């Protein structure tokens, strides 16, 4: 059966991938979760949950996080070829 956007496993994998990308962007800039969360207007535990793939996130919050990290929103969904994979 083909995967659908509602497939819980696919949704989980996408949340985890986004969280990993956010963590990479944040640590590359030597920022703490608290600093990014504050700059984005989010609670630190909520932001930490996004990085760990536990929370869904709104588009408005994606924009706020991208601004806090100083990147275009599209960079939240792409990775450079030099990034390490786990």
Q: Containing domain of residue 56, as a range?
A: 8-77
Which distant-in-sequence residues (6+ apart) come within 8 Å of 4 by Cβ? 10
The CA distances from residue 35 to 11, 12, 38, 63, 84, in Å, are 27, 26, 5, 16, 24
Full pLDDT tens readout for the chain, 86 residues: 555 667 889 999 999 999 999 999 999 999 999 999 999 999 999 999 999 999 999 999 999 999 999 999 999 998 764 444 44
Total domain count, the chain: 1
Residue 47 in domain: yes
Residue 22 in domain: yes
How many whole angstroms separate alpha carbon 7 and alpha carbon 18? 17
Residue 43 in domain: yes
Pinpoint the alpha helices (H) of 29-58: 33-40, 44-51
CATH number at residue 22: 1.10.260.40
Q: Which two tokens stand for residue 20?
A: 């990993």
């Amino acid at each position: 059966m083909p995967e659908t956007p509602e497939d819980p496993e696919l949704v989980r994998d996408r949340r985890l991938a986004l969280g990993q990308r956010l963590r990479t962007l944040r640590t590359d800039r030597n920022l703490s979760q608290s600093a990014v969360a504050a700059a984005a207007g989010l609670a630190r535990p909520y932001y930490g949950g996004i990085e760990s793939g536990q929370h869904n996130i709104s588009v408005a919050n994606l924009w706020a996080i991208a601004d806090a990290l100083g990147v275009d929103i599209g960079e939240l969904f792409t990775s450079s070829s030099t990034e390490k994979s786990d």
